[in-house]
Structure 1
Amino acid sequence: MGRAEDAEGLAHRSQQRYRLPDGARQIILVRHGASIGPTLDIIELGALTISDPVLSEDGQLQADALAHAYREERIDHIFVTPLRRTHQTAAPLARAWAMEPRVIEDLREVHLGDWEHAFYEHAAAGNPILRRMYAEESWEVIPNAEPMAAFAERLRRGIEALVALTEPGETSFAVSHGAAIAEICRQATGSRPFAFISPENSSASRLIVNADGSWRLRSFNDVSHLRGD
């Protein structure tokens, strides 16, 4: 065996595949596929009226690609939010694994207050509030938007609810939303508020919840299943 082959073999043998720590759970946080954009479709959750668009054609293709990419990975549970775009993104996964997704309401998207049904219109118009929002890294800049502290606590409750429904050593898919996943990743890493803002549609990020309840971000925004885009 030549030196190159010997070095390659040694490197291969020295690599250890990742294993969950004892007592830990793995959560694959998936952002829903692309949606149709502004819509009059809504869902009412308590006192809130929430925008509820469906997936676009591209979003459906992204969901199919996601299911194909993860078809051989061991998945123990699928979780979604009350919003349709998460159900539609999870559907190919659920069919592949013959699972019924479970809803965790607290993992839904941030509520944008007065902009809930017109965020993209304000963005397209160059509303100065949007620039201030990104500069201050705070959703609260938007009138009547969900307070940052309340948003953070709601998502922590959502992850804790998911963990309570899983066993140590299990892996779950949780189809959620861009700002929600960004906030979960921020909490896992102790980063600034918008450090992980805007993960891509159908991207996957891996969160490890250790036996002591602590969080660790293993990976962020994997879109390798969208190679053809």
Structure 2
Amino acid sequence: MPILYMIRHGEAASGWDADMDPGLSDKGRAQSAAVAREIESRAGKKLPLISSPLRRCRETGEPLARTWAQTPRIDLRVGEIPSPIEDLKARGEWLRNFMSGTWEQGLPTQGHLDLNRWREGVAAALLELTEDTVIFSHFVAINVAASTATNDPRVISFRPDNCSVTVFETDGKILTLKERGEEADTKVN
């Protein structure tokens, strides 16, 4: 069964409520180099790379992509949770409120935005993988995978740190959580 290494992006140069698509901070770039070495050691061979289209994930994948001489495949489904709000400050407040609940609480109130479809897309992107793969993704998307694997209804069941590695296994029908990545002090409220 394929092993999936889902990596949260490195520290961003700015927050979700300050920039729509920030790159990495200096610390984030150092974290990316460290996680590349970790994955090389753990995997023992070159693996396919997938990334969210957002800059912080693409930049996190650069050190490993350079070492393995490949370009990550961009997959929108492992991207950031879509927001129903464009105003950055209001967007940050929406996310903090949303993350403190369950999927069932948050889904009906989002108007035109179909977060259930996004959530199903994250799971589908992982379930369709047929070989060991490295995926550069986001805090909430990693939580979607974890909640899918454990049947946890909470939006946030753990707080993956920047460049933490969460490991899943799949048989194409079921996603199994093998190892949670290191957690951070990320505050939801």
Task: Tell me the TM-score range normalised by the shorter chain.
Answer: 0.7 to 0.9
Unpaired stretches in structure 2, ≥5 consecutive residues? 184-189
1:59 aligns with 2:28: yes
RMSD between superposed Cα atoms in Å: 2.8
1:126-184, Cα deviation, whole Å (9 max, x unpaired): xxx945751456544875584442222121232245x1xx4xxx321000100001011
Q: CA deviation at 1:113?
A: 1.3
Alignment match, 1:134: 100
TM-score (norm 2): 0.80
1:42-93, Cα deviation, whole Å (9 max, x unpaired): xxxxxxxxx2111111111110111122223224211101111111000001
How do residues 77-96 of structure 1 correspond to structure 2 at under 5 angstroms?
Answer: 77-96=48-67
Q: SS at the partner of 1:157? A: helix
In 1, Cα distance between equivalents of 2:158 and 2:77 = 19
Q: SS at the partner of 2:180? A: strand
One-letter amino acid matched to 1:102: R
Structure 1 vs Structure 2: percent identity of aligned residues?
22
Alignment match, 1:18: none
In 2, Cα distance between equivalents of 1:214 and 1:221 = 20
One-letter amino acid matched to 1:63: S
Alignment equivalent of 2:125, drawn from 158, 162, 186: 158
Alignment equivalent of 1:109, drawn from 71, 75, 80: 80
How do residues 208-219 of structure 1 correspond to structure 2 at under 5 angstroms?
Answer: 208-210=169-171, 213-219=173-179
* Aligned positions, number: 179
Unpaired stretches in structure 1, ≥5 consecutive residues? 1-23, 42-50, 124-128, 224-229
One-letter amino acid matched to 1:113: P
TM-score (norm 1): 0.67
How do residues 1-229 of structure 1 correspond to structure 2 at under 5 angstroms?
Answer: 24-38=1-15, 51-72=20-41, 73=43, 74-114=45-85, 117-118=88-89, 122=93, 130-131=96-97, 134-136=100-102, 138-140=105-107, 144=111, 146-161=113-128, 163=129, 166=130, 170-210=131-171, 213-222=173-182
Taking a change above 3 Å as real, the CA distance of residues 160 and 70 of structure 1, as seen in their structure-2 partners, is closer
In 1, Cα distance between equivalents of 2:179 and 2:109 = 30
Greater C-alpha radius of gyration: 1
